[in-house]
Chain A
Amino acid sequence: MLIRRADSIIPSEITPRALFERRRDFLRLSAGIALAGVLPSAHAKLGPGKSSPYSISETPTPLKHVTSYNNYYEFGTDKEEPARTAHRLRVRPWTLQIDGLVKQAKTLGIEDILKLAPLEERIYRMRCVEGWSMVIPWLGFPVASLLKQVQPLGNAKYVEFITANQPENMPGVGSRVLDWPYVEGLRLDEAMHPLAIIAVGLYGEALPNQNGAPLRLVVPWKYGFKSGKSIVRIRFTDREPRTSWMKAGPSEYGFYSNVNPEVDHPRWSQARERRIGEFSKRKTLMFNGYGEQVSQLYTGMDLRKNF
């Protein structure tokens, strides 16, 4: 009988599961090493970068967690998916268009953007609206240095960040989970705040695709989804931008989305968070612990209403 043939494999010849499952890692690693020789731009060393007084002294989350647990819905809604599929993102050539209410619109190539300002290492807390957090050593420069490349008109009050939409490379944009392209926005004074950065790398190297290569926004006092990935266009406007998440759930995601332990998400509490790699939960800090630097941006505002 055919079934009997299974007996001919002796147990000692069967590859242990753990080893078998590492095979992919090994293949990926060797492919990476091989590619690194051919394509110097991929995972290029950018850092370490100037150290910054804005960095915190908490222990950074291990690189493998930072690069394997991502919300990048264009590459799938499971957090493990972007790490598997984002290699398809086309990151070169890359241009960034800056337009809207400006004297003269500008288009910058990624090579020029990388030379705009000295790169700094910014070790920031990152708090996701879902109730988990990380500490990430970003590499980047203030958003302000980028916005200064153009002259905004007097009525410009907001900045809209429009991110890449590559349907041929992004398996997730076929589904209507969100309104593509993913759009985020900040008030102009928020965007000009020295804590807000454009990140081009993390852990001293170019941004992995799943983390928003080649350039992304990082606004550490707001929930993670405010920090748009793979930005292609920045638009100055006089009206509050309608972001993708505001369109998806206007009662759940507001324009400001500042980290606030006192204002719960309608469906879950925001009082505590789980730092990735830790067992117990931590208390979530107002403005994610950046209150001293940013609270003056919101004086006189009802943060419960402007959630």
Chain B
Amino acid sequence: MNLALIKPPLFLICLGPLAYYAWGVQADALGANPIEAVTRGMGTWALNFLLITLAVTPLRKFSGWNWLIRLRRMLGLFVFFYAALHLGTYLWFDQFFDWAEIAKDILKRPFITVGMICVVLLVPLAATSNSIAIRKLGGRRWQGLHRSVYLIGLLAVLHYFWMVKADISKPLLYAVLLGALLGLRIWWRLQERNRQLAGAYSPKPLGRIISLAIKK
């Protein structure tokens, strides 16, 4: 699979949501409250990309398309990209950079607290997404660190739940999708354990996935 053919168009597609909202603001097509629409849109797309990123491994395992893993870094960085924009819209459009007010808000309102924790936890993942960081950390430690994305996913869905007023159908949908993606991983782990208990133990080839990611 020639990734050079897939990556540039995928990159552009990933910018699509941002382009849509930029167009919407320009064309006055986002309804009566465009600022809220942009703020929520950026949050929704951060969460969408998080689920897409978490879907890479299951998709790879089921399809056998191992090259999918080499798109994961870009998808993961788009989680951070949209989350940072989401944070930016909050800091600017909601709080107008009133730092005292922002500090109070983070401490006082659980859904803001949780959202902020998500962005903070995403920073080290974005920072260590390059090959140098992977080599420096070593595959096992790098993978351990990046497993925090599961926690981030849970917190992001919680952030959504606590934000809505009464209709929880959308956060519930995200919870179900995230549950399925995380559930798969638990299931794999249990299967692995059962295999080990049955005596078919062979050490997991450490860093196999990583080496694929580094290979250019």
Query: What is the interface of chain A, defined by CB distance below 8 A to chain B?
Result: 18, 21, 64-65, 68-69, 73, 77, 79-80, 130, 132, 175, 177-178, 248-249, 264, 267-269, 274, 276-277, 279-281
Contact = CB atoms under 8 A, between A and B. Distances in A.
B82 to A, nearest CB: 21
A276 B167 contact: no
B32 A175 contact: no
Chain B binding site: helix, strand, loop or mixed by DSSP?
A: helix
B35 A274 contact: yes
B11 interface: no
A178 B166 contact: yes
A184 to B, nearest CB: 15
A68 B111 contact: no
B2 interface: no
A190 to B, nearest CB: 24
Contacts of B163: 267
Nearest to B110: A267
B155 to A, nearest CB: 16
B96 A274 contact: no
B165 A68 contact: no
Given A21-B29, A79-B32, 9 more contacts: A18-B27, A65-B32, A73-B166, A79-B31, A132-B36, A177-B166, A178-B166, A277-B32, A281-B94
A73 B101 CA distance: 32
A177 B32 contact: no
A68 B34 CA distance: 13
Interface residues of B, number: 22
Contacts of A279: 35, 93
29 contacts: A18-B27, A64-B32, A65-B32, A68-B31, A69-B32, A77-B166, A79-B31, A132-B33, A175-B167, A175-B169, A177-B166, A177-B167, A248-B166, A249-B166, A264-B108, A267-B109, A267-B110, A267-B162, A267-B163, A269-B101, A269-B105, A269-B109, A274-B33, A274-B36, A276-B32, A277-B32, A279-B93, A280-B96, A281-B96
Contacts of A64: 32
Nearest to B105: A269
Interface in B48-96: 93-94, 96
Contacts of B101: 269
Contacts of A68: 31-32
The 5 nearest A-B residue pairs measured at CB? A69-B32, A77-B167, A65-B32, A177-B167, A177-B166
Contacts of B166: 73, 77, 177-178, 248-249
Contact of B33 (A69, A178, A280): A69
Contacts of A268: 109
Nearest to A225: B165
A77 B27 CA distance: 25
B167 A69 contact: no
Contacts of A80: 31
